[in-house]
Amino acid sequence: MIKRFFTIILMVFFASLFFPLVGLISDRDSVSSLAKDYLVQGRDDFGAANIVTAVVVSYRGLDTLGEVTVLFAAAAGISLVFKGLRNEGKDKKYRVNPPSEILRTGARVLLPLIFIFGVYIFINGHLTPGGGFQGGVVIASGILLAFFAGNIKELNHGFVTFIESAAGFSYVAVGLLGIWLAGGFLDPRFLPMGEFGSLFSAGAIPVIYSLIGLKVGSEMSGIIDAIRSY
Amino acid sequence: MMTNLLFILAGALVLVGLWGILTRRNIFKIIIGFSLVDTGVHVFLVAIGYVKNGTAPIFDKEYSSLHSLLNTVDPIPSALVLTAIVIGLAVTALMLSFAVRLILKNRTLLVDGKKELKW
Amino acid sequence: MVNPVFLIAITLGFAFIFPLFEKINPKLSRLAGILVFLTLVVIPLIWFINISNMDIPYIYSSTVGLPSNLTINLAVSYMEALVLLVVNGVGLFVYLQEAYSKESPWKGKQIILLSIVMLGANGLIITRDIFNIFVFMEISTISLFGLLSCSSDDRVFEGGFKYMLASGLSSVFYLIGIGFFYLVAGTLNLDALPDGINFTGGVLGVLWPLFLLSGVLIELKPAFANGWGMDTYEAADYSLGAIMSGIQATALIIVLTKIIPLIESNIIMPLLLVVGSITFIISHLQALGQSSFKKMLGYSSSAQIGLVLIVLGSGTNILLAIVLLLTHSVAKSGLFYTGKYFNECGSGRDKPLLVVLSSLFVIALLGLPPFPGFGAKWTLLQILGGKSDVFTIFIILLGSLLEGVYLFRWLGLKIKSDRDSGLVVSEVVPDDDAIPGYSSSDTIGVASQTGLAGLGGCIKVHFSSDSFSYHQLFPALMAVIMVVSGVVFNKGVGLTFRFLIPFSGILFFVVLDLFRVPTKFQVFLAIVASIILGFYVYPELNGFNTLFGFIFLFGIGVQFIAFFNRKGYSPGLMALTVGLLVSLISILTSKTNFQLFFSWEMMTLTSYFLVLRGDNAFAGGYRYILFSLASAFFILAGFSMLHGIFIGEYMSLPQNLLPVILIIIGIIIKFAGIGVHIWLPVSYAEAENDVSSIFSTVLSKVGVYMLFLGGLYFSKRVFKGVDTMYLLGWIGVLTSVAGSMMALFQEDIKYTLAYSSMGQVGYMILGFSIMSHLGWISSLYLVTTHMMFIGMLFLSVSGVIYRTGTRLMYQTGGLIKRMPLSFISALFAIIALSGVPPLSGFGAKWLMYSALLEKGWYLQAAMAMFASGVAFLYLFRLIHSIFLGQEKAIYLNVKEAPAPLLIPQYIFMICVMAISMFPNLLIKPLQTVIEPYFASTVRWEGYEVISALGYWNGNAVMYVTMGVFIIPLIWLLIVNRHVYKVKQFNIVYAAERPFKPETTHYAYNFFGHYQKALGFLVEPLISKFWNGTGILVNNLSGGLRRWNSGNPQGYVFQILLYVIFLSFLMGGTN
Amino acid sequence: MLSAILTKTFYTFISLMVILNYALLLIGSMARIRAKVQGRVGQPVWQPYIDIIKNYGKRTAVTHGVMFYLGPVFRLAGGLGTYLFMPVVYGFVMFENFSFSGDLLLVMYFIFFGQLGMALGAGESGHPYSPLGVSRGLAQMTAFELPFALAVISIVAQYGTLSITEIVAAQQGGWQNWVAFTNPFAMIAGMLAFLGMSMQNPFSVVIAPQEIPIGPPTEMHSAFLGMLQTNRAIFNGAKMVLFMNLFWGGATHKYLLVAILIMVVKTFLIYLYVNIVGASFPRFKTEQSIRFFLGVPTIIGIIAVILQSI
């Protein structure tokens, strides 16, 4: 009870820290000057219709690279966590009920759609909402479905690892290409800008997003596999 | 106005999440609490980017005069949130996996069920 | 110039490609790893050299090739390059250790995660964008969590879970903080942010950076919100501890330095100071009570971070903080690894390299020379002293002392021998009903004070096949690099190259040890070295320095001969002894306070390790180093307030009283003044015999030297209406009374001698504090002659212990027949020591009493006389119990002490005799030494010295004594022509034969009646006081530890509380 | 030079003869007086002579070792030295002895010389009673040294000199100038300490001579004992002369014989005082005497010092 009481007091304190501070701010009338620069130049710099994508992939490309790394590290970590468990000899197999008819049939219909949707999302990231992460996660969800529906029994580790490694390495390589062929690290402008608003535009942004998509997809699949195979 | 409402939402989410972390003893509930806090912060960040009557910062061929350009919401917080969400996801996933190990080891779902590390 | 982004590209590229690579060729991929990690070291090295050579302030790189205000920028300055160099060096070290570890080497995901850890740290250090910092922070924590899961201890998941909650919360705060910053400044670029900040919202206007700051601070594991980190340290593998404290904490501090400029300095600076101080003290206290080594180091890391925060908050040079940080980083990771190997192999006596390494790392961690932390701490304290920031100085030194308490405890426990119980062997007479002596041979070897096993006290170090493994090579390399960088850095602070040359002697003898050069040969070299050193420094010395130079060089040089008695190898012995000699001489040649203190600390350290060599020396060494550290810190605090003026130049020193008192307190601790003496007997007694002899003869004088060096600076300072020297005089005389009284009741001969030398030093202090010509002469006279006769006595006793294997006096007896030469030496020493004419000891007494009476210190004079009477008592007891009385059966075949022990005794004896015959041999030079300070108040008529009060003619006394001795002797020889030598038991014993020598030898509890009368004076009140202090600190530590309850929710609660605490600090009470 | 040395030797010899004979007679007569007090006939006055001659005359002797042999020599050397470093009679070269070698401090410390040698010799005998006596004696010694030292310091403070000759000189001109009257506290402390120093009855636990053979000389016999007895006489004499010089104005007169007579009278009285106390009080245990000396006499001594220093 006393613990509750202190917790409440703490909460009150926190609320009194947070709310007065945010209460000082009301709706903004315009974006910040930096954002203004992005909005004005974004199209000319990278030819991306989706300014958020331009920010994510190019202006703040290093963040995104880091983000991929975080995911990568988490995937590696999770697989280590569960590997440790397997090593401890707790590998009693749970009996898995066979997938139902609906699941199997549904999966057969849905899987291609899901994969295509995923790929679409990351390829079109520079034009519409979406991008590599979203696409990758959609693909991973397809993999999950495939597991449930029994379409895949075991993930081909070599293949997944290959995709993961290759995509990641290519991402870094593209970044380095930016140094040598264009202005700086992760500069997508070493590829032609193309026509604004079309699929093959915005330099290497679609390439990067595709690589991210592949990488995220394979990483997420890896996580799913790590948890599943426990 | 919109911003402030969103702030209140964000603050409420954070506080509810913290409350959950502090008072629930089930590990998974604690992690849910943590997710709530995380989400609250994301809402907060998105709210920061809000501009009165702004639209999404996505252009098509026509929609590109300077005036309309500036009538979008701030794209930077959106980009940040994108990153933050993914990172939050990674953290939550890892946290869950640790939780699984912890629960299997302690044979209890309670977070303070078996304290082997203290002092 | 290399683009900073390559650091990221290389690590990341390696991490991504590694899984493929490893599938193709595991071996090659690991080699590639070395290459990558090496590159990470080389790149900053290039930057470092370039930046310092070419005057480029920054290497700047904006990504994406756009103007820097639009993108994320990376920047490397001198500081970043240095930090990167060290952090990546530690990374390389961890990689080498783990990827090539003997059992369960890291592979696959672990290596990937390690390189991602490095990526995170590098990114944190070079990025110039606050959101990017967040990303890298997450990278480094998440990769750490991944690595954690591979720990051998599966409690790590509990710790890791807590860590995750905490770091999750801190990243939440950080994100909120970013939001505020973006709102206010409209940018995330660190370089643009300070210009963009214009937030004025009343009270809240100061509070808004709170969240960003909390985010970073909490990740730094500040006390009282760091339990989660500590729990993780405890369960995580050693390597992870190294990563956490060596790599991540370092990088996070750099982050902190980046965000400090974003916050108004009148808010952030005091805040850092408070936060740092709390962390520094509390974490050290919490570390104190730890039984888990890793957790202890964890707390220590947290505390060290606290120290860095203090430095940052005190507004001194940021470079100092960086140097401290980097020293900590390397030393701590090294310590984690040596700790690991220690845990694998138990006691360290047969692991010399490991012992050396962990000692070096502990020393480095504590900021002692020759490591960079020393110079940094010194400079820091100088700056603080210049600002008269006494409180911060106090915090820093107190914390450092606490740190010494647990680090040296650990080190001592690792170095101690297997038979060392770790306790102080009971020093006093046991109860009445305990049967003294031994009834059968099996008691020998049980008590450490007896035991024939300890013959010669040789440390039994064996180089077993696994004494060295190539794994220790990397820590060794690190230690070497640290020593070198320390020397370089300290040289920058104020050591001259010439000053440092002699210290290479230590290295030389270490190398000799490595090549298994026998001790005897090393001793020979050491003697040669000390002669060379003498010639080398002689021109530099003048006045007191010449005198003390003579004492140090001659004293130690002669006693080197005693080391010839050692057989086989004694690794480290000569290196340490020569190191001690060199540091002592360097103390004399110091021209600045910094040099002086450097040598002082070197002296402390070398002597500490010499003590630890003893078989039962844990407790002694531990007390020794703690009190020495305390003493050094008092002196350091005093020095810091002298505004850089050398203490020898007292004329220009500031008139402030505080430094005087601090320095004098430090010196009092060092010479074991009453109240702070408990370290001396144990450490002197438990060191090896030949080493204790050096301690007692030479080392005990170093405190006296400091007093003379400060000379007049200390005098005429009035403390609350009393002259400080008057107080010091009382301390001196009480010390001598206490020392003598306690020496009286010891059964253990080395304790007797140790207390005796404490008492004698008390006289020297008394003589000094008289502050007159005669007083100083008496003090210096005693310093010189005491060195000689205590050397005779100690070595003579060493011979006895060496032959009989016991330190308990009553167990021996009648040895005069077996060891006549030792007896003669002891006899002369005793006559001299007790001040009986005609030997030189009387000169000291005469000079001192004359000076005391001249000064009008009558009561002190009476006390001193009483003490010298008591000294006579214990000295007689000593010589009687050992050499006279009944011989014991087992010692019937004991031989005379070996020649190496006898030769130095007789050298000293010749000197004593010469000085006794011709006192002006010594007193005249002393007068010239003192001339610049005091006008002479004695005059000479031939051999007669005449003071204002009395006179003394040593020469005539000698002749008269010889006359009155020889004439009765001749008479006796004439009268008593027929004497019969009788057997042992032929005594007047009521016509019976005594039962056996053990019961007939009256030696045990010799002064029992004295104890009945005055025993209350030697009640171990002071020991009790210090024990009580120890217990108090332990309890405090225990109480503070309990704060970290181990409950994850408790930790979350603490973190939230901490944020609120920070908000109070930031916003004040409004 | 040579003649000076010869003269000095001669003077020394005279001085020693005087003190030896006087002290032996003193001991003998005092023993007789004490016997009378206790209602016995007592020994003849010359009994000490007989003892000494008898002991020296013994033909056989046993020794326990070199130190045992040298012990009595040390002891006697200590006694002789103590005596010889003091001026016996003020103002006469013949009785100035070697007092030019050192001052009061030398005398005080030279006392230890004999003690140490004796203790060592006794120690080597291997008889447990010998070191027992030594330990008692030394323990008592440190205790009475304190009031004695305080008394001496008080005198030094009073006259500003450590030289015995000058101290005596300062007391000339009538009994009212004696330390005993100018500085009575010092005198009291000193005379109390003297009781311990002379090892008479309350403080006689060291040798306990008449009951059982204990104490340092337990194993000593024949010529060794003879030397000890010689020393006892000289040493006692020396001590009394010292006290006379310090507290009772020394002995001086323009005629040497009168001066010696004055010395005889004064030392006799001092010795009588010791014996009266000795005859009147039972013996203390060692710890009792230690406590005694560190009690009242020390406090008196401190008072004496404080009175002089303010």
Q: Round to whole Å and give the CA distance between C163 and B103.
A: 16
Which of B61-70, C567-576, C840-849, D237-246 bottoms out in mean pLDDT, i.e. has the lowest? B61-70
User: Quick one: average pLDDT of D212-225?
Assistant: 75
Burial of C941 (0-12, 13-18, 19+ CB in 10 A): exposed
Cα dihedral across residues D69, D74, D79, D83: positive or negative: positive
| pLDDT band, very low/low/confident/very high, at C344 (cuts 50, 70, 90) | low
Measured between CA atoms, the residue of chain C closest to residue B87 is C138
CB contact under 8 A, C158 and B102: yes
Is B117 part of the contact surface with chain A (CB cutoff 8 Å)? no
3-state secondary structure of C986: coil
Which of A4-8, A12-16, B29-33, C419-423 bottoms out in mean pLDDT, i.e. has the lowest? C419-423
Predicted confidence at residue C440, as pLDDT, reads 32
Q: Do chains C and B touch (3 or more CB pairs under 8 A)?
A: yes
Predicted confidence at residue C469, as pLDDT, reads 64
Half-sphere exposure of C100 (CA within 13 A, CB side): 20
- CA distances (Å), origin C744, targets C737, C1011, D138: 11, 9, 12
Residue B119 lies in a domain: no
CB contact under 8 A, C186 and A34: yes
pLDDT digits (tens, 9 = 90+) for A166-199: 888 998 888 888 888 877 788 877 777 777 767 7
Predicted confidence at residue D198, as pLDDT, reads 84
Using an 8 Å Cβ cutoff, are C1052 and C228 in contact?
no
B35 lies in which domain range? Answer: 2-54+65-106
Residue A35 lies in a domain: no
Closest CA to C1050 of C167, C141, C165: C165
The total number of structural domains that make up chain A: 1
A190 lies in which domain range? Answer: 60-88+99-230
Which of C389-393, C425-429, C431-435, C702-706 bottoms out in mean pLDDT, i.e. has the lowest? C431-435
pLDDT digits (tens, 9 = 90+) for C663-706: 999 999 999 998 898 899 888 988 888 899 999 999 999 999 99
CB contact under 8 A, C960 and D81: yes
Q: Do chains B and D touch (3 or more CB pairs under 8 A)?
A: no
CB contact under 8 A, A14 and C1056: yes
pLDDT at residue C428 tops 50: no
The shortest CB-CB distance from D62 to any of C877, C947, C986 is to: C986
Backbone angles phi, psi at C338, to 5 degrees: -65, -35
Q: Round to whole Å and give the CA distance between B81 and C398.
A: 45
Residues of C in contact with A169 (CB under 8 A): 13, 16-17, 20
Round the average pLDDT of chain C to a whole number and report it.
Answer: 86
pLDDT digits (tens, 9 = 90+) for B80-101: 998 999 899 999 999 999 998 8
Percent of chain C with pLDDT over 90: 41
Using an 8 Å Cβ cutoff, are C845 and C806 in contact?
no
Is C158 part of the contact surface with chain B (CB cutoff 8 Å)? yes
Residue A34 lies in a domain: no
More confident site: D295 or A33: D295
pLDDT at residue C373 tops 50: yes
CA dihedral C250, C255, C261, C262 (to 10 degrees): -150
Q: Which chains touch C (3 or more CB pairs under 8 A)?
A: A, B, D
Is C163 part of the contact surface with chain A (CB cutoff 8 Å)? no
Residue B116 Cα, gap to closest chain A Cα (Å): 19
Those residues with Cβ within 8 angstroms of residue C351's Cβ, 6 or more apart along the chain or in another chain: C341, C342, C345, C467
pLDDT at residue C284 tops 90: yes
The shortest CB-CB distance from B50 to any of A28, A52, A63 is to: A28
Predicted confidence at residue C203, as pLDDT, reads 59
pLDDT digits (tens, 9 = 90+) for C61-87: 877 777 777 888 888 888 889 999 999
- What ipTM describes this predicted complex? 0.88
pLDDT at residue C597 tops 90: yes
Measured between CA atoms, the residue of chain C closest to residue B79 is C131
Residue A127 lies in a domain: yes
Q: Which of C158, C230, C1042 to mutate to test the interface with B (most CBs of B within 10 A)?
A: C158
The total number of structural domains that make up chain B: 1
pLDDT at residue D166 tops 80: yes
Measured between CA atoms, the residue of chain C closest to residue B24 is C1049
3-state secondary structure of C657: helix
Residue C12 Cα, gap to closest chain B Cα (Å): 17
Closest CA to C574 of C520, C536, C625, C615: C520
Give the pairing of strands D61-63 and C979-981: parallel
pLDDT at residue C448 tops 60: no
Q: Round to whole Å and give the CA distance between C363 and C645.
A: 27
- Helix pair angle (C749-770, C724-744), 10° resolution: 160
Beta-bridge mates of residue C141: none
Q: Would you kindly state where each structural domain of chain C is located, as residue ranges? A: 1-128, 473-969
User: Quick one: average pLDDT of C515-532?
Assistant: 89
The shortest CB-CB distance from A39 to any of B15, B75, B100 is to: B75
Using an 8 Å Cβ cutoff, are B27 and B103 in contact?
yes
Measured between CA atoms, the residue of chain A closest to residue B91 is A74
| pLDDT band, very low/low/confident/very high, at C202 (cuts 50, 70, 90) | low
Predicted confidence at residue C435, as pLDDT, reads 41
pLDDT at residue A32 tops 90: no
pLDDT at residue C137 tops 80: yes
Q: Which of C941, C972, C1001 to mutate to test the interface with D (most CBs of D within 10 A)?
A: C972
Residue B116 lies in a domain: no
Predicted confidence at residue C1023, as pLDDT, reads 84
More confident site: D46 or B55: D46
pLDDT at residue C721 tops 80: no
More confident site: C793 or C434: C793
The shortest CB-CB distance from C1013 to any of D67, D119, D290 is to: D290
Q: Round to whole Å and give the CA distance between C603 and C582.
A: 8
Predicted confidence at residue C444, as pLDDT, reads 33
Q: Round to whole Å and give the CA distance between C787 and C761.
A: 11
Beta-bridge mates of residue C981: D63
Predicted confidence at residue C289, as pLDDT, reads 85
Q: DSSP readout, C907-941?
A: HHHHHHHHHHH-THHHHHHHHHHHTTTS----EEE
User: Quick one: average pLDDT of C3-15?
Assistant: 89
pLDDT digits (tens, 9 = 90+) for C150-200: 888 888 888 999 999 999 999 999 999 998 888 888 888 888 888 877 766
Could you give the residue ranges of the DSSP H alpha helices within chain B? 2-23, 27-48, 66-69, 75-106
3-state secondary structure of B72: strand
User: Quick one: average pLDDT of A142-156?
Assistant: 82
Round the average pLDDT of chain D to a whole number and report it.
Answer: 87
Using an 8 Å Cβ cutoff, are A134 and A119 in contact?
no
| pLDDT band, very low/low/confident/very high, at B67 (cuts 50, 70, 90) | low
pLDDT digits (tens, 9 = 90+) for D11-51: 999 999 989 999 999 989 988 888 888 888 888 999 999 98
Residue D39 Cα, gap to closest chain C Cα (Å): 31
Residues of C in contact with B29 (CB under 8 A): none
Q: pTM higher than 0.90 for the full model?
A: yes
Cβ burial C276-308 (10 Å sphere, 16+ → b, else e):
bbbbbbbbbbbbbbbeebbbbbbbbbbbbbbbb
- Helix pair angle (C773-804, C920-930), 10° resolution: 130
Is C154 part of the contact surface with chain B (CB cutoff 8 Å)? yes
| pLDDT band, very low/low/confident/very high, at C1069 (cuts 50, 70, 90) | very low
Predicted confidence at residue A20, as pLDDT, reads 79
Residue A134 lies in a domain: yes
Using an 8 Å Cβ cutoff, are C880 and D134 in contact?
yes
Residue C269 Cα, gap to closest chain B Cα (Å): 28
Q: Round to whole Å and give the CA distance between C706 and C634.
A: 13
Cβ burial D192-216 (10 Å sphere, 16+ → b, else e):
bbbbbbbbbbbbbbbbbeeeeebbb
Closest CA to D60 of D288, D222, D188, D244: D222
Those residues with Cβ within 8 angstroms of residue C107's Cβ, 6 or more apart along the chain or in another chain: C22, C26, C30, C99
User: Quick one: average pLDDT of C339-349?
Assistant: 74
Which of C295-309, C323-337, C801-815, C902-916 bottoms out in mean pLDDT, i.e. has the lowest? C801-815
CB pairs under 8 A between A and C: 187
Residue A189 lies in a domain: yes
pLDDT digits (tens, 9 = 90+) for A76-133: 999 888 887 776 655 555 566 788 888 888 888 888 899 889 888 888 877 777 788 8
| pLDDT band, very low/low/confident/very high, at C346 (cuts 50, 70, 90) | low
Domain with B43 in it: what CATH number? 1.10.287.3510
Is C803 part of the contact surface with chain B (CB cutoff 8 Å)? no
Predicted confidence at residue C272, as pLDDT, reads 93
pLDDT at residue C758 tops 60: yes
